[in-house]
Amino acid sequence: MTENPEITDSHCHLDFPDFEGEIDDVLARAREAGVTRMVTIATKLRNVPQVRAIAEAHDPIYFAAATHPMSAADEPLASVDELVELAEHPKFVGIGESGLDYHYTADSKDIQQESLRIHIEAARRTGLPLIIHARDADEDMARILTEEHRAGAYTCVMHCFSSGPGLAEAALDLGFYLSMSGIAAFPRSSDLRDIFGQAPLERILVETDSPYLAPPPHRGKRNEPAFTAHTARVGAEVFGLDYPDFARATQENFERLFWKAAA
């Protein structure tokens, strides 16, 4: 047992070279911080074997997979059947991350949108949550998520949410979740914290997106699952809660959405 309240890093990338040869140490530091579970994400389907092996080798680690929107133009389009087959693995808990990113790759927006709709259909068929990456694409993202939800319900988390209030409202109206990353803990992110603070507590998750976006006091360094606790403590302040109460709420939220990990 740990003295810290248990929390879950709902999104990280433990297959990245930043963690090579260090997984056991990373897990030990996570446990010490109270982070007892994590979901590691394959951003390209060809990386699934490596990501799956990490999850199979370590009890606290689950995995998800999709084609990241920034790679949609360079990778073969995933098929729904391919994603459904992946979902048969007992530790495969989500479809993602998929989505739209117009910051660097707006020229591929058409293929990104096609890819996104494929991943949404896979989420529908499997009942697993869709994990969404959204950057500089709020209008198209809100439109597609809403259109597709009208065509058939699915569950979803807006991973590393840092978009505007309009997309937050659209996602929450659909029953989706918003995930707090280290960005929400940055000193200049008061507007983002206000968006989270206006959301229902029962729709909030926490994550690192490690190795990126380390929260203070580690900003600028490699992020890792243990640092979820720093973001979660900021989240507790946003909601005016004691840290154990906020941690408990995010655990319940994670288990409601990522039901395979809870099982």
Residues contributing to the annotated binding site for a divalent metal cation: 11, 13, 97, 133, 159, 209
Alpha helix locations (H) across 58-210?
Answer: 80-86, 109-126, 138-151, 165-173, 190-197
Q: Which residues contact 134 (CB under 8 A, 6 or more apart)?
A: 99, 100, 101, 141, 158, 161, 163, 167
Residues 177/257, Cβ–Cβ less than 8 Å: yes
Q: Binding site, residues?
A: 11, 13, 97, 133, 159, 209
For residue 61 the two structure tokens come to 């680690």
User: How far is the C-alpha of 184 from the C-alpha of 161, rounded, in Å?
Assistant: 8
Residue with tokens 């490699």: 222
